[in-house]
Amino acid sequence: MTDAELFRISVEAAKNAYAPYSNFHVGAALLAKDGRVFTGCNIENSSFGATICAERTAMSKAISEGCREFVSIAISGNGGTSWPCGICRQFMFEFADDLRIISGENENELKVYDIKELLLEGFRL
Ligand code: THU
């Protein structure tokens, strides 16, 4: 699975986004160590704080299926760049402190960061 392929899957996943308030359709494609790919989209709510981001949707799907080891996550917003919010960075760090995070304007212009670059000194209890 290449980064470009994973990004393409994230763009596809964003088609299921429920984002009537922001109109920002986010998709995530999370590659697990066993090769499975879990997708997610953002799901907004009339009570804005109840909104869930695409990254947490994808990782929650994986965790709830018993999968806890991950390699990479690709994220897109309205087909282009979208980096994870602070809550998602901390959420993902819990399970994957070496996660690769991929995003960009399109599949040929992707940037990749390590989660530790995007979340310095992530919290551990
Ligand atoms: N959003 C995500 O899905 N992931 C992020 O990491 C940042 C924000 C969503 C939440 C909301 O539905 C929309 O983008 C605008 O904030």
Residue closest by Cα to atom 13 of ligand 1: 24
In contact, 36 and 63? CB cutoff 8 Å: no
Which active-site residues does the annotation give?
55
How many C-beta atoms surround the C-beta of residue 61 within 10 A?
15
pLDDT average, residue stretch 94-102: 98
pLDDT digits (tens, 9 = 90+) for 43-91: 999 999 999 999 999 999 999 999 999 999 999 999 999 999 999 999 9
How would you classify the pairing of strands 70-77 and 100-104? parallel
**How far does residue 55's CA lie from ligand 1's centre (Å)?**
9
Go through the chain and tell me how many residues it has.
125
- Report how far residue 106's alpha carbon sits from residue 4's, in angstroms, rounded to the nearest whole number: 8
